[in-house]
Structure 1
């Protein structure tokens, strides 16, 4: 769940809907169009990362305080085999590693087909990681918290969720993402499924091996989820990515966001878009409980020549959203829930400024959950349906 470019374009596009959908529910049907008829859940994307540095205990706690049902730690592995919460294996953009370690600790590694030179978590022990402090990677977000917060392990994130669940009298789920499993197995040299096994060891010890555990495990790759299905009953989620959106509103598929990276390695021709076709969803149902598509996959748009953002020209950002692509309905028909991403208050460019309305649009289509950097807005969106 990466690109700022994506968020800027699609917050605008989604909010350009003329009129919107009819309200859910009424005398003739359920209040919500979710798979289970319950309200959609709000997932604190990297915590409350719009306000505090992402993937810190403080950011997760802020998300919980704002009412998020789940907190999302992206996970990477340290040199000595600990799982820590970072968005990528590279530490450069989200920590002060460059201030604390010499440039000689950098190296060039293949991350999903791209050669990247950086400080990699897999070259640092947990003790070294604990000397680092988090920083805000987005320049348009608060920078005054840089250098204050440490990098947590998955054990610390789980402990926080359990502590706050008990203290607040409501269950707070953890929603870990296994980041770049193929990278960890091959490039970082940990071996096949070591990453996955370490995560399960922590989660099973904390919650037991149960589908009812307050846990969702997600990945953009497929093989690791298929492996996990043989080892756990916990809920699994297949993430669906893309590179961008074309000017005609269609999904743009380009490396490295065109297909699961384990498909690239195996020479599998199927793309992320193929996984949302009926046969793809049927495959996902054999190993996962839900899908997590990037939100443009879920809405249809038309270009009707209206300059909605008033910039004097008609571009993709002026397209009108006209309803569902059918992906939500097809996933639900397979018994798969749909959690979509990412909603951001500060990505409402092109003249649009109502992120709550954007989330409500997707909720009224029937999504079962939303990832947002601003959980308070997501909670307000659900409350206002």
Structure 2
């Protein structure tokens, strides 16, 4: 006769789709010893992003420090879209930026909390004395380490979890429980000799298979609030939030696009927005338009800075008046410095005049340095 916990697990897997969950698995609650060793090395090499949930590596790798007498961890995956239907075109005079796919549609924290809540309710109906704690991205455990152990997918060279059916286009969450559910078997790694993700990384942040230097990752850089180097700004391109390059080039992701979740369908105009209007958004307008997206979590400053960078990379002369307004009027030094860089990239006579005018008025040392560099860049164009 089938063990009651084995049966509960089997029933849970069959119910998953009705709960809005695309993949579900069970992991043991044992400490993540190998992960801890990797995190220690990661820290010693200075590769942390600074966005980690805690500095305490024990709490990030030992479920028993987060939950009294854990018996199992349930891992879930929810698939999201990777393609836009009828995407708006970025054209001269109407240039657009792009949010990474993980930020399309409703904030995935909201989506996963909804799915976790439904799953917990389903379990409680069957086990009234259930104890459970759900985590989504901001929890202390590594979503990817739990998903790997639970058989959701394998840890790929691009450091994402790849589900053989769904690819990397999945949100991950987990629930620590007091239920002695039998664990699933991990999936064998399937990257083979492929190194497309490592070769395509814009900044070389993927320093080896599954080894990410977050300090160099475009996704991390796009979420910072400081000024960026010339090298990094050129690499950002027109990305407003995040970077999908290492996922786009992955052969396993080819042709995979998931649109079956109504609450997660992206609005093409929001996820690929016009750049110039972004520069003048108030906090209230930004929250109203983008507050439901996970890409808004750092506020409007990084998005606006990245919009300025994108306009500089497009070298679109029609953007010069808007960039001059930022250079002259924006109270934030980072935005003024970045606008100077963008105007230097465009290099028209109007841009150069504005840079000279700004140099006379600017008080911030970093902004002055960027204005001077921009003038050097523009004069280099004139000499060609």
TM-score (norm: length of structure 2): 0.24
Structure (1/2) with the larger helix percentage: 2
Structure with higher RCO (Cα < 8 A, 6+ apart): 1
Structure (1/2) with the larger strand percentage: 1
TM-score (norm: length of structure 1): 0.24
